[in-house]
Amino acid sequence: MTTALVVSRYFPNDSRTVGVHQRLGTQVQALAKVVDRVDCLFLQPVDRRYAAQEIQEHEARLRRLWSPAVWIRVAPTLVDDEPPTLWQRRGRGVFDFHAQRIARPASTAAACDAVSAAVDGRPDIILAHRLSSMCVLMALARQAPEKTRRAPLFFDLDDIEHVSWSRRLLHDPGWPAERLQLLHVPRLMLAEIQA
């Protein structure tokens, strides 16, 4: 049996039609045409827990919506707390991509452990849905490179938000000092290239 692993931070936990969920659904449907099973690992905030019955209901809904080959796991691993100091919130991201707002919530040992456990299932294909999920696989590749080399790894960059964020900061910052966040852009672009 061939399997695909999809890692995402965007759990479609309701029936609303949101563009990011539509894009993910299209990718899962495409994967389901070439593999027998699609395991979706959704990384969620630590304070958001689902009962087993809720997970089963979501899985049944996603099977109807996307493909009968879909299986889901939800891992409450994301910590979205704001760092206490201005330097930790804004300055570190200039030098460390994992300190930026897009990557910081998933830069936890629990997220890396959850993805590592999913990769231990030896999927035939891995899809990282967006940069916020790919950062966990990048961290796993540094810790255990043999794990991420077992299967082809595909990455949905979907960088339009980064482009619009950069343009907004350049042309219409919310406050004068907000423009300093443009200093994060080179490290963000480097992370995209490395991914």
| Greatest pairwise CA separation for the chain in angstroms | 56
The pLDDT value recorded for residue 59 is: 96
The pLDDT value recorded for residue 15 is: 66
The pLDDT value recorded for residue 154 is: 94
| CATH 2.60.40 holds for 3-87+97-159 | no
Alpha-carbon span 71 to 11, nearest angstrom: 13
Contact between residue 132 and residue 24 where contact means Cβ atoms under 8 Å apart: no
Structure letter (DSSP) for residue 97: G
Q: Could you tell me the residue ranges of all domains in the chain?
A: 3-87+97-159
Q: Which segments within the chain are labelled E, that is strand? A: 3-8, 37-45, 70-78, 125-129, 153-156
pTM: 0.89
Whose CA is closest to 1, among 28, 38, 26, 29?
Answer: 38
Q: Which residues of the chain have pLDDT under 50?
A: none
